[in-house]
Structure 1
Amino acid sequence: MYFVLINMISYIVMGNDKRKAKRGAWRTRERTLWLLAFIGGAVGGWIAMQAHRHKTKHAAFKYGMPVLAIVDLSLLAYFS
């Protein structure tokens, strides 16, 4: 249940950051996006990146988020 919830939150926060970027509003810190990914929300963050075309040109996000997503899924499979 935690995995689903944290990924939903990560997806929403990433999508919200994209909306803020389009409007020129105050943005969500990258540190927050990474924190959500590190605590299990990398899959949701990566899906949001693809769906909203957000942070896809940043190498750290482009390569780091999928790696973290694989780690998250591997840990989920191991502990399930």
Structure 2
Amino acid sequence: MDLILPYLTPANIVTYLAAVSFIAFAAFGIDKARAENGARRTSEADLLFFALIGGTLGAYAGRALFRHKTRKQPFSSRLHGIALFQIAAAVILLVLPD
């Protein structure tokens, strides 16, 4: 753990989250284009994985902009669950004393 802690700076965390969100956003756009063209699709598991590892904002932005997977169940419920879990984890980490 001592090897990781020096890299967990606010700037590095923000950079990581921005990069993963961009990847998630792009994955939704690519999957939408593939769906329209009848090409091989990105799996829902992969799209949810990008959200799970920190790309939730990009996933929601991609859903909204590309109007992709907005009504699909259980995908939507799982994405909302990931977002709620991340919010709860962030609150716990911010509230817990050092």
Q: TM-score range by the shorter chain?
A: 0.7 to 0.9
Consecutive unaligned residues in structure 2, runs of 5 or more: 1-14
Q: Percent of aligned pairs with the same residue?
A: 29
Consecutive unaligned residues in structure 1, runs of 5 or more: none
Question: More relative contact order in 1 or in 2 (CA 8 Å, sep 6+)?
Answer: 1
Aligned to 1:30: 44
Report how many residues are paired.
79
**Residue type of the partner of 1:53?**
R
Superposition TM-score, scaled by structure 1 size: 0.81
**Residue type of the partner of 1:4?**
A
Cα deviation, 1:8-43, whole Å, max 9, x if unaligned, reads: 000001110000000000000111111111101111
Which residue of 62, 68, 87 maps to 1:48?
62
Residues of 2 paired with 1:7 and 1:73: CA distance?
A: 15
**Residue type of the partner of 2:49?**
L
Aligned to 2:74: 60
The structure carrying a bigger helix percent of its residues is 1
**Residue type of the partner of 1:13?**
A
Q: CA RMSD in A?
A: 1.8
Cα deviation, 1:25-74, whole Å, max 9, x if unaligned, reads: 00001111111111011110111001101001113333332443354456
Superposition TM-score, scaled by structure 2 size: 0.68
Larger radius of gyration: 2
> In the TM superposition, what is the alpha-carbon distance from 1:75 to its structure 2 partner?
5.0
